[in-house]
Amino acid sequence: MGMSFGYGPAKEKQEMISLLRKAVELGVTFFDTAEMYGPFTNEELVGEALAPFRKQVEIATKFGFKISPKGEQSGLDSRPEHIREVAEGSLKRLKTDVIDLFYQHRVDPDVPIEDVAGAVKDLIREGKVRHFGLSEPGVQTIRRAHAVQPVTAVQNEYSLWWRKPEAEVLPTLEELGIGFVPFSPLGRGFLTGKVDENTTFDSSDLRSTLPRFTPEARKANQALVDLLGEIARRKKATPAQIALAWLLAQKPWIVPIPGTTKLKRLEENIGAAAIELTSDDLREIESAASKIKVEGARYPEKLEQLTGR
């Protein structure tokens, strides 16, 4: 997402194509995009970059937003006919004949989830989609969708500074045998230790609108980064690697998707897979993290209302 949208101006296309191809060379096999990122430009980027490696990788994309002629998000739309339109557009932009994982980007309260699951089931039957996913759903929605078309993966924000999925979502996924894909596993960059109370954000960077990223909240939340830094020093790693290793240690069916636009960070993120956190390390992180109160809401209220339905 960050290559095209959300974290300041879009990055230079050829540079990002090279980075995506380098990721494949380094062993990355799972790439996450959405028609909404850009909109449309991120799917085009991913499609062009991965075309030579299509058989080696899995590509996830998403449907469910209404996009105005000006290219702005203008509400939700998960009507079955719209899902089909999005799938056709995504297939073209991704230069592929099948979408490996097709997520509903946000639950649409105006369309029964059974109709959404049924529409994706039809696309799977036709060979245009392989697997069905949900992003930021509530547990009842997961159960209802899964009864119509098995859900392969649920995507939610999850990291050491946003642990709400642990209460209900993770136990439900474990019970139903559904994989979990944490987005923003590095807390939108905060857990890397590269962001502090003095960092400034471009007006096109969504962090400039998030309560958790006010200077006061960043100052208060620094304690969490300090904790990661302390463990990282002992493990000869970076705070980002410890944050990712912590996620990987939670369940074997968790696949975090850190985003980056820099080769150095790509290599750093991949390095997290080699870091072993012992049960003592995990207990220590748990104990220290439980004493830290994370300040600031994750989203402004209007955006938060779109989650957990």
Alpha carbon distance 252, 174 (integer Å): 11
> Phi and psi dihedrals of 90, rounded to 5?
-65, -40
**Token digits for 201?**
């954000």
List, edge to edge, every strand of the sheet that includes 58-63.
Answer: 30-32, 58-63, 99-104, 129-135, 151-157, 179-183
Q: At a CB cut-off of 8 Å and minimum separation 6, what does 161 contact? A: 187, 190, 191, 212, 221, 224, 294
Is 37 annotated as catalytic?
Answer: yes
End-to-end CA distance of the chain: 23
Backbone angles phi, psi at 19, to 5 degrees: -65, -45
What are the backbone angles phi and psi of residue 3, rounded to the nearest 5°? Answer: -70, -30
Which residue out of 37, 103, 158, 299 is catalytically annotated?
A: 37
Is the CB of residue 169 less than 8 Å from the CB of residue 175? no
Q: State the CB neighbour count (10 A cutoff) for residue 46.
A: 28
Question: Residue 227 contacts by C-beta under 8 Å, 6 or more apart in sequence?
Answer: 285, 288, 289, 292
Residues annotated as catalytic (active site), given as ranges: 37
